[in-house]
Structure 1
Amino acid sequence: MDQGTPPTRRSRTARGRTPAAAALTALTLAVTAGCTSSGSPVEHRPGTARKPSPTPTSHWNPRPASIAAVGDSITRGFDACMVLADCPEASWATGSDSGVRSLATRLLGPASAAARSWNYARTGARMSDLPAQLTRAAAHRPELVTVMVGGNDACRDSVDGMTSVADFRSGFERSLRQLRAGLPRTQVYVSSVPDLKRLWSQGRGNALGKQIWKLGICQSMLSDADDLGPAAAERRDAVYARVVAYNKALKDVCAKDRYCRYDGGAVFDYRFTGDQLSHWDWFHPSKDGQERLAEIAYRNVTAARPPA
């Protein structure tokens, strides 16, 4: 109150208010406070805090304007078009094939996808190759980077040759730190590693595929494809367990990054059929399988909230 301003006197109405009128006023205020603007009562238990209304995450942009892809043979479309060859136009992430309708095509449209998407995945790549791929991708300053890596860390000549879980985790942590140094707000969509054991189970019924497997594809899982003995089962179970551990590492590391979204295990859980596997090696996704991967990615990238 400013100096020189006389104290405000209580009005005669206030001085003359009767106890009954005061009680009626208090009751009216209590009823009004207990209603919403529409007049509906609001239940609130004494001694409990009101929970704020949930709001969608505002930092994730479901419509990025440019996309770069990193990873391994699946993102390069290996064996999707011809035997033992890359087919990047069929890539789930950035491909131009109209039958696949890649993530880039779905988000940007065909014309913009051709100009605003880049694929730096490499067949045979492992987690240790991710930093170099991200360096190339970061040069374009993409708004979204897709990551699918880990299959080759488990697909080695033997179980003993698989990348350790500790090295896999630290490699992913290092890769994200490197990306954040130059692109602190670029979004990262991380695909889970596919279930290699399920792919073996689905593909081993094809005689041609098993002959291609003998050329050296994922021997830790696919070697002696028809051997169902204890030693072979133990070997395949070890590969399966390593993939599960890799996916946990991807999930945990991604969860610590505000602009990283893991697919919730959607690719690992997906049950590829014969139509969705390459009809040359019966292990990598066919164009049909690549389309399914694009669908999964698009659903997760455009969702208001990340997968559980």
Structure 2
Amino acid sequence: MRKPSHRSRAALAVTAAAVLGVAGCDAVGGDTTAPTHRPRPTPSWDVSPSSIAAVGDSITRGFDACTVLSDCPEVSWATGTNTEVDSLAVRLLGRARAAERSWNYAVTGARMADLPGQIAQAVVKRPQLVTVMVGANDACRSSTSAMTPVADFRAGFQDALTSLRRQLPKTQVYVASVPNLKRLWSEGRTNALGKQIWKLGICPSMLGDADALDSAATLRRDTVQKRVEDYNKVLKEVCAKDRRCRFDQNAVYDYRFGTDQLSHWDWFHPSVNGQARLAEIAYRTVTAKGRLTGT
């Protein structure tokens, strides 16, 4: 047999080293397989959207902020034009453009089940930002047993976001937490006029028998409050799964509304001053830098 040349021996050595090198990596757990999936990059949040649509309930309609038992959308925290409020739309778009590029589809008395229908109206305008404040009426029922089940509340919110994403995949969403209804009761119950208005049917599950402090009344109010907390957990969790959704991290729920922030017509809904505070909370959340979601 002919002895291998120097060049042949060198080639064999290189080949052997390469084989042994691969084998050595495998022996210690190395993985030479190229990744087949890369996580999608998180989309950047636009802190200056050029159009806004609001959906939700009486709070976003400015109910009882101007006159008794009436909507007053001009003071809405989301889209109002009142100079005392400086709504989210005014802060983001300027007063002139806010009147042209913001729309309020909220309805007094609306519950989570109504949200998909409001979203369907909003998408026609193709807004760059949708604001959501809903849930108080799901807890404010004739009795605690009539409150919207948490599972139904979750399904309604998921359906609404899915519908929005199907038609406007890049539209951003700001979600406000449900207010602390028990705190609103504790503040408003000191006003005799407010308690008379409450008897007309404003949030009876929380506000009914406003002066009662017995165990049954306390349990009823605590049950409503627990349901509100569960609703806020749902809003946070569902929003966290949407890459273009920001939850307010319970800022509205945690805000300590005082008598200056409550309507002097019903001592429950936000006053003009209260609407301004809601606008501040929304603006801080929408314009915050970096990644802010329900998590």
TM-score normalized by the length of structure 2: 0.85
2:271 to 266, 275, 286: 286
The reply on whether 1:184 has 2:174 as its aligned counterpart is: no
Displacement of 1:59: 1.8
1:76 to 53, 61, 70: 61
- The CA distance in 1 between the partners of 2:152 and 2:258, in whole Å, is 32
- The CA distance in 1 between the partners of 2:262 and 2:121, in whole Å, is 30
- The CA distance in 1 between the partners of 2:123 and 2:82, in whole Å, is 25
Where structure 2 has 5 or more consecutive residues not aligned to the other structure, the ranges are 1-40
The reply on whether 1:277 has 2:262 as its aligned counterpart is: yes
- The CA distance in 1 between the partners of 2:160 and 2:79, in whole Å, is 21
Percent identical among aligned pairs is 70
1:202 to 159, 163, 187: 187
- The CA distance in 1 between the partners of 2:43 and 2:55, in whole Å, is 26
Assess if the C-alpha contact under 8 Å between 1:90 and 1:96 holds in 2.
Answer: yes
Find the counterpart in structure 2 of residue 101 from structure 1. 86
Find the counterpart in structure 2 of residue 135 from structure 1. 120
Displacement of 1:237: 0.2
Displacement of 1:57: 6.3
Task: Report the AA paired with residue 167 of structure 1.
Answer: D
Assess if the C-alpha contact under 8 Å between 2:42 and 2:243 holds in 1.
Answer: no
Task: Report the AA paired with residue 44 of structure 2.
Answer: H
Compute the RMSD of aligned alpha carbons.
Answer: 1.1
Displacement of 1:302: 0.2
The reply on whether 1:224 has 2:209 as its aligned counterpart is: yes
Where structure 1 has 5 or more consecutive residues not aligned to the other structure, the ranges are 1-55
Displacement of 1:123: 0.2
The reply on whether 1:125 has 2:92 as its aligned counterpart is: no
Aligned residues: 253
1:267 to 247, 252, 256: 252
Secondary structure of 2:125's aligned partner? coil
Secondary structure of 2:220's aligned partner? helix
Assess if the C-alpha contact under 8 Å between 1:57 and 1:304 holds in 2.
Answer: no
Find the counterpart in structure 1 of residue 28 from structure 2. none
- The CA distance in 2 between the partners of 1:57 and 1:256, in whole Å, is 12
Secondary structure of 1:147's aligned partner? strand
Find the counterpart in structure 2 of residue 112 from structure 1. 97
Find the counterpart in structure 2 of residue 168 from structure 1. 153
Deviations, residues 103-153 of structure 1 (Å, cap 9, x unaligned): 000000000000000000000000000011001100000000000000000
Assess if the C-alpha contact under 8 Å between 2:189 and 2:195 holds in 1.
Answer: yes
1:146 to 123, 127, 131: 131
Max Rg structure: 1
Displacement of 1:264: 0.2
- The CA distance in 2 between the partners of 1:75 and 1:221, in whole Å, is 20
Find the counterpart in structure 1 of residue 285 from structure 2. 300
1:213 to 190, 198, 221: 198
- Over 3 Å counting, the alpha-carbon distance change for 1:57 and 1:302 in structure 2 is farther
- The CA distance in 2 between the partners of 1:233 and 1:57, in whole Å, is 45
Displacement of 1:85: 0.1
Displacement of 1:183: 0.2
Deviations, residues 45-64 of structure 1 (Å, cap 9, x unaligned): xxxxxxxxxxx965210000
- The CA distance in 1 between the partners of 2:45 and 2:196, in whole Å, is 45
